[in-house]
Structure 1
Amino acid sequence: MIEPGATFKDNVQLLPPVDGVARIDLIDAAGAVVGGIANQPGRQGSLAVYHYLAQQFDRLDAQAARHGLALFAEHVADAQDRPGAHPNIDRLLAIAAGGDALKIAVVVAGD
């Protein structure tokens, strides 16, 4: 597991590439897709973090969420100051605070 640094930009450079990933689906305990991240400009950093979390953890639980927040680094404070501005960080904050765990499903391009 990587040791997150002080900046999101530096942390993203440490993550595996997401070239073949079409999207990430987030699935609740009932099997419903409750969120997702598409591989598109402006979302690729979040996609890389969630893709990495899927590789490192069985599910997106409080421990995985805390690690994800460390990867988002300086953006976490902005998300806390402006709820809704960073929905992918908001989700991690909620799970880290005791929210329900989710399954992270990686959908590869062409599927």
Structure 2
Amino acid sequence: MPPADDRSGCPKRRPEALALTRPGHPADEQSTQWQPPFAETAAIIAEAIADAWQRLGEERPCIALLGHSIGGATAVHIAAAQTLTWPLLGLTVSGVGDVIAPGVCGSSRI
């Protein structure tokens, strides 16, 4: 295993990116019928991250989540989970708020 960074405990290695599409997106005819809530989406994505992290073996990096808008809200749900099986190094979000424009989703609060 590569030497650990003194601050994070993560292996020193070139950063890699894994881009995941949240369930139901991009919307096609079949996926528009299934739009899971944030918590369920977060669980699905956290499991996909866990699978990818396990496949990397000894070279496993620590994970930093990055999300914007609904992806950011999902990343917050993932980061808040008490059941992660992989090391979360950090979280960066943008475009996330707790108020939705009136009339969207039938409510003005998430």
Q: Common fold, TM-score beyond 0.5? A: no
TM-score, structure 2 normalization:
0.28
- Structure 1 or 2: larger helix share? 1
TM-score, structure 1 normalization:
0.27
- Structure 1 or 2: larger strand share? 1
Higher RCO, Cα 8 Å, sep 6+: 1
